[in-house]
Amino acid sequence: MTEQAFQITVYETLFLLGLISAASLLLRNRVKLYWLTSIVIIAFTGKLILFLGAGGMFGNWVGGHYNWEGKIFSIVYTLILIIVFFGKNLEQVGFSLAQTGPLPRLGIAIAIFTMIATVAWNTIYFPGIKSEPTIDILYQATMPSLDEELWFRGLLLAMLFKGFSINDVNQKNYYPIILAATIVTIQFWAVHSISSDGDWSFIFRPWYNPVAGIYGALWIVVRLCTGSLILPILLHTFANITGYFF
């Protein structure tokens, strides 16, 4: 792992810690520190695994230009933690084929709108069809969506719910739910915007990838409305591969 990668890991973790701390203050510290502390440790460790893969720690047995090995190990890591923390009720993490959330029709409608907007965005701002080796297209169609959705709108959201003492997304007190969803969205956007020069300079370019923030907001709404990770994963995949077809 490079020094720059380690610094990015630290900064992203501190950013998440700041968001959680701010939310805890807004909730007047009526939170469960075990869950919130665990989130920070898991986020740091998961990012280390990802960067270790990029640095060749796990070999290069898949090939291609992307970090297959880091993503695969990161996905396995997240799945293990999901089983450990939520094995008795995987629906809390969105492991459900059925769209049985509080507003499934709204979630599906937003998903359809997101797909149409994605095609329009790529057609207008990125005209022309991208061309990459098949192994790289397969990576874009699988690894980012599985890794990031399992973490952000899966495990992270579920653990924030626990930390903020949310047992049911249908409960009447929506304030903690909104805070948890906001943290997930901002952090998803931030990890696409935070960097470092390798000399511990914190570089934050919120304008670098604003689309990540927009997608993050739309996908978290779909996740909450449907109660499932299926559509967010599919939408994420669609966003990543649209440029190969339109």
| E-assigned strand segments in the chain | 194-196, 202-204
What's the pLDDT tens digit per position in 28-37? Answer: 878 999 999 9
Residue 63 has what pLDDT?
87
Buried b (16+ CB within 10 A) or exposed e, 150-167: bbbbbbbbbbbbbbbebe
Q: What is the mean pLDDT of residues 160-167?
A: 88
CA distance 193 to 202: 11
What type of residue is 113? F
Strand-pair partners of 196: 202
- pTM (predicted TM-score): 0.95
CA distance 40 to 32: 13
CA distance 125 to 119: 10
Torsion of Cα atoms, 79 then 34 then 217 then 15, to 10°: -110
Flag whether pLDDT at 172 surpasses 70.
no
Q: How many residues are listed for the chain in this entry?
A: 246
CA distance 28 to 32: 12
What's the pLDDT tens digit per position in 41-94? Answer: 999 999 999 999 999 999 999 988 999 999 999 999 999 999 999 999 999 999
Q: What is the mean pLDDT of residues 176-188?
A: 96
CA distance 83 to 67: 25
Of 190, 176, 185, 174, nearest in space to 152 by CA: 185
